[in-house]
């Protein structure tokens, strides 16, 4: 795109006009008018109008990836470190108080044993929405889902989350704004609201898709452990849907140029930056995505207390899923800019719910740190803030309202 401008070499104001101008009959001297800045046709052909400014850099910002170092990484531990409990060093979470009324193991075991024989009143919602794994989703459903996401990117911003540039960036902006309070600072400065906040965030995203873009299908989730070490080969990253997964280009992110989100421009991130136009970009590293597999899943599922499970999830396969996709996704602050974020966190929530199903007390009790500075106790009455992201459907809620996906504010489960 050519950029041109006209500059006045002299400016004539009302106060600078001589007092006798209006009374004289002859014309005003040409020198008082000045001239527009100009070049000859010969100078234009030689590019004289481009001296001092390389306007091509304006376009390159939109078509070239940013250095990978600008995105940073999500705090992580290796599978071996998770198995060794490295993420538990510094705080003995088992000493923190448990909020709620956990059933005794004997009673819990008995209830689980007879549940297949006698129905029991659990207070669960009657007709939960079912979230289907991506490969169990029809082609029509897949297309409707990515179309609804594109719809949000095309819609104007609400104005509530300035300086977002569109409705999609409203969703990115709340994550960017709340990031200091919803992520652990390190393995020794943790907040265990992470899983609960993101559960609510993904649910809010679903409501926005439905209410504002007419999405009327079941919600998908992505079983990414079966694609560990081969994300780029998954049925998610195709020309029709999320776009081909690319590696880095010259140690920078690679702009997404295929799929429904090809050519997307973002203005938020990396980190806390705003008004920073750049392309949606990825830089897959399959050595890192390999850390998201069955072994990581099994390691976290084996943990018995909520904070221990939470710590394992946040720092192992959750972190490695972000870092493995790379670039926009590796930015812990503004990573929702990539729609892959929600498929990844739908998987994280799937694992969370599976862990809760294994013990009924995990749906009625909580413990851990409510903040990542002083580790104040996380209780059933701890507030989780969503800032009315999806309007009246998204009030700030207590942990007790989010702990069970079949009770309280939400009503959904996964297809397996």
Q: Tokens in use for 324? A: 């493995």
Query: How far apart, in Å, are the Cα atoms of 122 and each of 125, 205, 379?
Result: 9, 27, 21
Residue 174 to residue 205: CA distance in whole angstroms: 11
**Tokens 């007790």 appear where?**
400
Domain 66-414 has CATH 1.10.1280.10: yes
Q: What is the full per-residue pLDDT of the chain (416 aa) written as tens digits?
A: 444 433 333 333 444 434 444 444 666 676 666 555 556 767 656 655 555 544 444 445 566 899 999 998 998 889 898 888 888 866 666 667 788 866 543 344 444 443 433 333 467 899 999 999 999 999 999 999 999 999 999 999 999 999 999 999 999 999 999 999 999 999 889 999 999 999 999 999 999 999 999 999 999 999 999 999 999 999 999 999 999 999 999 999 999 999 999 999 999 999 999 999 999 999 999 999 999 999 999 999 999 999 999 999 999 999 999 999 999 999 999 999 999 999 999 999 999 999 999 999 999 999 999 999 999 999 999 999 999 999 999 999 999 999 999 998 999 999 99
pLDDT score at 19: 46
pTM of the model: 0.82
**Tokens 């209830």 appear where?**
111
pLDDT score at 97: 78
* Strand pairing category for 281-282 and 254-255: antiparallel
């Amino acid at each position: 795109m050519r950029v041109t401008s006209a500059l006045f070499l002299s400016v004539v104001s009302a106060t600078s006009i001589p007092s006798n101008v209006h009374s004289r009959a002859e014309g005003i001297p040409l020198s008082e008018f000045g001239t527009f800045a100009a070049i000859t046709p010969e100078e234009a052909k030689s590019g004289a109008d481009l001296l001092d400014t390389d306007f091509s850099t304006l376009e390159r910002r939109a078509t070239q990836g940013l250095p990978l170092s600008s995105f940073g990484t999500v705090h992580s531990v290796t599978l071996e470190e998770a198995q060794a409990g490295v993420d538990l060093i510094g705080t003995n979470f088992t000493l923190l108080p448990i909020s709620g009324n956990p059933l005794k193991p004997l009673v819990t075991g008995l209830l689980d044993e007879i549940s297949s024989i006698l129905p029991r009143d659990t207070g669960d919602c009657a007709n939960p929405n079912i979230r289907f794994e991506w490969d169990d989703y029809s082609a029509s459903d897949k297309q409707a889902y990515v179309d609804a996401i594109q719809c949000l990117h095309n819609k104007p911003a609400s104005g509530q989350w300035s300086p977002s540039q569109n409705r999609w960036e409203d969703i990115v902006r709340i994550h960017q704004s709340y990031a200091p309070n919803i992520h652990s600072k390190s393995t020794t400065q943790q907040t265990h609201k992470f899983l609960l906040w993101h559960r609510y965030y993904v649910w809010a995203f679903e409501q926005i898709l439905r209410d504002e873009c007419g999405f009327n299908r079941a919600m998908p989730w992505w079983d990414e452990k079966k694609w560990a070490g081969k994300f780029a080969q998954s049925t998610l990253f195709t020309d029709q849907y999320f776009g081909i997964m690319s590696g880095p280009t010259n140690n920078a992110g690679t702009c997404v140029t295929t799929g429904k989100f090809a050519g997307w421009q973002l203005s938020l991130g990396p980190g806390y930056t705003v008004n920073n136009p750049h392309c949606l970009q990825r830089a897959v590293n399959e050595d890192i995505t390999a850390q998201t597999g069955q072994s990581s899943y099994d390691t976290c599922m084996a943990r018995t207390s909520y904070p221990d499970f939470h710590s394992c999830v946040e720092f192992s396969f959750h972190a490695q899923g972000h870092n493995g996709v790379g670039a926009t996704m590796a930015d812990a602050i503004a990573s929702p800019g990539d729609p892959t974020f929600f498929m990844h966190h739908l998987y994280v929530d799937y694992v969370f719910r599976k862990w809760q199903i294994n013990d009924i007390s995990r749906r009625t009790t909580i413990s851990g740190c409510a903040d990542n500075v002083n580790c104040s106790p996380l209780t059933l009455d701890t507030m989780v803030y969503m800032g009315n992201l999806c309007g009246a459907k998204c009030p700030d809620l207590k942990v007790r309202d989010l702990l069970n996906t079949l009770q309280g504010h939400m009503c959904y489960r996964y297809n397996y």
